[in-house]
Amino acid sequence: MRIVVIGGGAAGMIAAYAAAKNKKNEVIILEKNEKLGKKLYISGKGRCNLTNDCDREEFFKNIVRNSKFLYSSFDLFSNKDLKELIETNGCPLKTERGNRVFPMSDKSSDIIKTLEKILKWAHVKIYFNAKVSKVKKIDEDETFDISYHSGKAKDNKNGFTHIIADKVIIATGGLSYPVTGSTGDGYRFARDFDLQVSEQSPSLVPFNVREIDECKSMQGLTLKNVGIKIYEKDNPKEILYKDFGELLFTHFGVSGPVILSASCYVDQKCILSIDLKPALSESKLDERLLREIEVSKNKKLKSIIETLLPKSMVEIFLKRLAKSRMGELPSRTVELYEPLSDIKVHDIDKGLRKSIVNLLKDFRLTLVSKRGFDEAIVTRGGVDVKEINPKTMESKKVKGLYFAGEVLDIDALTGGFNIQIAATTGYAAGNL
């Protein structure tokens, strides 16, 4: 039986490996790039966060959409199975904070080389620079005709080559990082067979903010161990998302783990509230201010703020404090900032202390939009999983047509979960 896998990323390589375990199968990968695993290569900032070494229950808690769909395939090929496959084929792994699994070398290329070696041993054929344009069913014998542009088809005026397959596994990825070849081809193939495809949007991606000048001033600043809440502009009581962890200011807005995770849940324009001192209640924070005032009576307010915040945030905080103290009058913020920052510590009254505490516990930014697919780690949306058999990844409508990886409408938080989803669904699809 000839099985053609379209796409040589994580899902495609694992699918090809699983299919080739059956020696009766002839397995071919059609990869549009000049090499395998192009997106895998840049994952985890070039280190490749291969999977997450948590237990089954915890793993499924980190899947944002359609987690139940993965139950059967995960039992077939879990995070433990992926680790074993990689390590037994010569690539040692290590587990870091948050159960994140990386190659011991910290080089994603070692994961790719290991998978390439596995495919070579399994006698999988790989055609590079093979851009598939069409997949269609040949009704009379239930096989598939796949046409692709190889750039080497001298006998074809249009430059296209045709290959006939008994089974086709579509593992073309989503829309994230299109420079790696993820340009949504799989969605087009699915629609050609009248399968439902949900709308796609960037996920695990930074946000643009309205207060861009402030963020530019703080660009590169990482806040560790902060709390965040996100809510609709006019409804602060309705929390859309909350988290605790690391946040990064950029030239366009905000990024970092808590922000990337938030992008999985939040779409509309909303307010980001940052708790800069989550370990302290408002009363405890006020007590700390009083202690600082007691030992710094002859200093200026700015010196107190410098003990509480990173240097690049101090000026912005003081300007915001001036604005909050003067009834939200933006036009007067600059002129009022100087006298406020120069105020002596011993002149700080209860009202000013309260304003400082409020701002430390509720530093707000307006999220206006997500960044684009160029910066998204994964794609939200894709082939509707209701159309797919969860045990085999085969289309319920089209016999012999399978889907695996990011092309499916299933995604997760950061930490190695999305690559594992690709590997799990890939293995299930190739287990023929």
Q: For the residues 4-25, what does the mean pLDDT come to?
A: 97
CB 26 within 8 A of CB 121: no
For residues 68 and 120, membership in a common domain is answered with yes
Residue 155 pLDDT class (50, 70, 90 cuts) = very low
| Last-in-domain residue among 359, 389, 414 | 359
For residues 115 and 95, membership in a common domain is answered with yes
User: Does the pLDDT value for residue 241 go beyond 90?
Assistant: yes
The four Cα atoms 105, 108, 112, 114 give a dihedral, to 10 degrees, of 20
pTM listed for this prediction: 0.90
- Residue 236: predicted pLDDT: 78
- Residue 299: predicted pLDDT: 82
For residues 53 and 116, membership in a common domain is answered with yes
264 within some domain: yes
**Which residue did the predictor score with more confidence, 234 or 121?**
121
For residues 179 and 198, membership in a common domain is answered with yes
For residues 167 and 114, membership in a common domain is answered with yes
| Last-in-domain residue among 244, 278, 312 | 278
> CA-CA distance, 373 to 70, in Å (whole number)?
25
User: Does the pLDDT value for residue 153 go beyond 50?
Assistant: no
- Residue 330: predicted pLDDT: 46
- Residue 267: predicted pLDDT: 81
CATH number at residue 244: 2.40.30
For residues 149 and 262, membership in a common domain is answered with no
372 within some domain: no
| Last-in-domain residue among 257, 278, 299 | 278
pLDDT in tens, 182-213: 999 999 999 999 999 999 999 999 999 999 99
The tokens for 381 are: 């949306």
Q: How far apart are the first and last CA of the chain?
A: 10
Q: For the residues 251-277, what does the mean pLDDT come to?
A: 94
User: Does the pLDDT value for residue 329 go beyond 70?
Assistant: no
85 within some domain: yes
235 within some domain: yes
Paired with 272 in beta bridges are: 230, 365
Distances (CA, A) of 358 to 283, 324, 325, 336, 354: 11, 10, 11, 19, 6
365 within some domain: no
- Look-up of token digits 């750039």: 151
CB 216 within 8 A of CB 199: no
Share of the chain above pLDDT 70, in %: 94
For residues 157 and 17, membership in a common domain is answered with yes
Q: For the residues 392-406, what does the mean pLDDT come to?
A: 97
> CA-CA distance, 293 to 244, in Å (whole number)?
29
Q: For the residues 372-379, what does the mean pLDDT come to?
A: 95
Handedness of CA 393, 399, 400, 406 (dihedral sign): negative
For residues 100 and 21, membership in a common domain is answered with yes
- Residue 210: predicted pLDDT: 95
For residues 77 and 178, membership in a common domain is answered with yes
CATH number at residue 109: 3.50.50.60
Domains in the chain, number: 3
- Single-letter code of the amino acid located at 196: Q
- Residue 328: predicted pLDDT: 43
For residues 184 and 73, membership in a common domain is answered with yes
Q: For the residues 63-82, what does the mean pLDDT come to?
A: 97
Q: What is the rounded average pLDDT for all residues in the chain?
A: 92
Residue 262 pLDDT class (50, 70, 90 cuts) = very high
364 within some domain: no
> CA-CA distance, 56 to 404, in Å (whole number)?
20
292 within some domain: yes
- Residue 327: predicted pLDDT: 53
Residue 326 pLDDT class (50, 70, 90 cuts) = low
User: Does the pLDDT value for residue 152 go beyond 90?
Assistant: no
User: Does the pLDDT value for residue 333 go beyond 80?
Assistant: no
User: Which backbone phi and psi does 166 adopt, to 5 degrees?
Assistant: -80, -35
Nearby residues of 121 by Cβ (< 8 Å), 6 or more positions away: none
For residues 57 and 145, membership in a common domain is answered with yes
For residues 389 and 252, membership in a common domain is answered with no
Q: For the residues 52-80, what does the mean pLDDT come to?
A: 97
Range of the domain at 221: 203-278
pLDDT in tens, 382-392: 999 999 999 99
27 within some domain: yes
User: Does the pLDDT value for residue 341 go beyond 70?
Assistant: no
CB 144 within 8 A of CB 400: yes
